[in-house]
Amino acid sequence: MKTLELPPFDHQPKPYTGPSLETVVNLRKQYLTPSLLTYYKNPIMIVEGSMQYVYDEKGRRYLDAFGGIVTISVGHCHPYVLKKIREQMETLQHATTIYLHPVIGEYGEMLAHKMPGNLSVCYFVNSGSEANELALLMARLYTGNYDVIALRNAYHGGSAATMGLSAHSTWKYNLPHSFGVHHAIAPNPYRGPWGHDDPDAGAKYAADVQNLIELATPGQVAAFVAESIQGVGGALVYPDGFLSNAYRYCREAGGVCIADEVQTGFGRMGSHYWGFETQGVIPDIVTMAKGIGNGLPLAAVVTTPEIAQILTQRIHFNTFGGNPVSCAGGKAVLEVIDQEHLQQNSLEMGNHLMAGFKKLMSKHDIIGDCRGKGLMTGVELVTDRHSKKPASEQCARVFEHAKELGLLIGKGGFHGNVLRIKPPMCITRPDVDYIIEVLDIALSGL
Ligand SMILES: Cc1ncc(COP(=O)(O)O)c(C=O)c1O
C-alpha cells in the first residue's frame, strides 16, 4: 500500500504507558454498553491530541479531519484554552448557579454579543440533546402550542424528545417518541424533486412545511426546528430561500423558529459566524454544543428576553449548566476564534478543500456530489451518477483506506455513503492538500 508523509508538525507525543489496545477493547466489551459504536474494522485508540492532529498509543500521528465529530473547533489541547481551563480548575471547579460566579455572566455577555437581533439571553447546559430539549420546552410554553415541524434526514440528539425530532430510523428506538412532531421533506437539491438547476427550489421545499402545518397540525405550531446544514445527514446544504420561507410559514402559524447550530456554529461556515446567517434568517432560539467547548461538556440555548422569561413559571435547574470550568473554556474558545482569525481560515481552507473535491469529482465518477460551506463539507459517493444509487460499501472502503494513510474522516448520510470532512478550524493548506491526496489514492484504489 502506498504511504504518504503527513505535513510536518512540531509536537512530540508523550510515551504511552497505559493499558494495551487489546485490554481496552476487552474492558469496553465487558463493562460498557454494547450499544457503543466504534469506527473502523480495527478500531484505533487515540491517546493524545495537539491542534489538528491526534496520536495513537504507538505514537502514530493522524490528521483529524473529523474533530471528534465536529467538536474540536480550535484545535486539540489548544494551549490558551487549556491555560484558562487549568486556571479555573485550580481555583474553583464547581458551585452551581445557586451562588454567584463572575465567569458565567461574562461568558453569557460574550456569547450574546456574537448573536444577531434580540438573541441576548443564554442558558447553559451540557450537551446538544439537552439544549434542543430545552429549546423545545421553551417553544411549547411560550407559544402555548404543541406541534413541531422538523425535517427528514435531521439529527438533533438521542434523548426522548430529540430522538423524536431526529428523522433517521438508525437513531430511533422502537417506542413512542415523536408525539406532536411532523417531518417535512428534506430540502435535498441533489436527490430531492427540485435540484440545483431550479432557482425556486428553496421555496418549493418550504411549501411542504406549509402543507404539513395546514394538514397535519391544528394549524398552530410551537416551532420549526432545523440544523443550518444537516450534519449527520451528510452535510446537506439547503437551497437558498428554504429557511426564510419555512420560518415565515412557522411564524404565521404562531410558532417560533429554532436553529440547531450544534455543528455549524462558531465560524465553521467561513462566510458567517452562524450557519443560519448563510440563509439570511434570524431564529428565535438557537441551540449550540460541540465546537462551543472544543471538547468540554458545554452547550447553550440562546434566545430573546421575551421567550427566556417563560421558564420563570417554574424552577428549571441544571447542575453542571454554567459550570465555571466549562464557561472559562467556552470564553477562551470565543477569544481564540477571533484572535487566530479562525472564521477566515475556515473560509479559505474550505474554499481550497472544495476546489480539491471538484478536481476529484472530474476524475472519479463515483463522486456524485460534493457540497458544504467552509469546513463543514461532505462528498457523496454513488455507484453511478444517473441512478445515484448510494455507494455505501465503497464509501466504507475509502474511509478505511484513508485511516491507513493517516487521515481520520467521518461517514454519514442515511446510507452511509457520504464522506464527512469537518476538521478543526486551525487546519492548514498542506493539511487540505493531504486530505485531497489521500482521497485521490483511496478512490483510485476502489
Ligand atoms: C446537529 C446536532 N444536534 C444535536 C446533537 C446532539 O448533541 P449531543 O450528542 O451533544 O447530545 C448532535 C450530535 O451529533 C448534532 O449533530
pLDDT in tens, 387-440: 999 999 999 999 999 999 999 999 999 999 999 999 999 999 999 999 999 999
- Judge whether 229 and 376 are in contact, CB under 8 Å: yes
The pLDDT-based confidence of 177 (bands split at 50, 70, 90) is confident
Average pLDDT, the chain: 97
Cβ(157) – ligand 1 distance below 6 Å: yes
Asked if pLDDT for residue 3 goes beyond 90, the answer is no
The pLDDT-based confidence of 1 (bands split at 50, 70, 90) is low
Alpha carbons 13 and 433: distance in angstroms, whole number: 24
Give distance in angstroms: CA of 138 to centre of ligand 1.
18
Residues 415, 419, 422: CA angle, nearest 5 degrees: 130
What pLDDT is recorded for position 280?
Answer: 98
Exposure of 8 in the CB half-sphere (CA atoms within 13 A): 1
What pLDDT is recorded for position 328?
Answer: 98
Q: Which of 125, 126, 129 has the most ligand 1 atoms within 8 A of CB, as the residue to mutate?
A: 129
Give distance in angstroms: CA of 249 to centre of ligand 1.
26
Cβ(127) – ligand 1 distance below 6 Å: yes
Residues 200, 205, 209: CA angle, nearest 5 degrees: 135
Which residue has a Cα nearest atom 8 of ligand 1? 128
Cβ(156) – ligand 1 distance below 6 Å: yes
* Nearest atom in ligand 1 to 264's CA: 1
Alpha carbons 137 and 301: distance in angstroms, whole number: 11
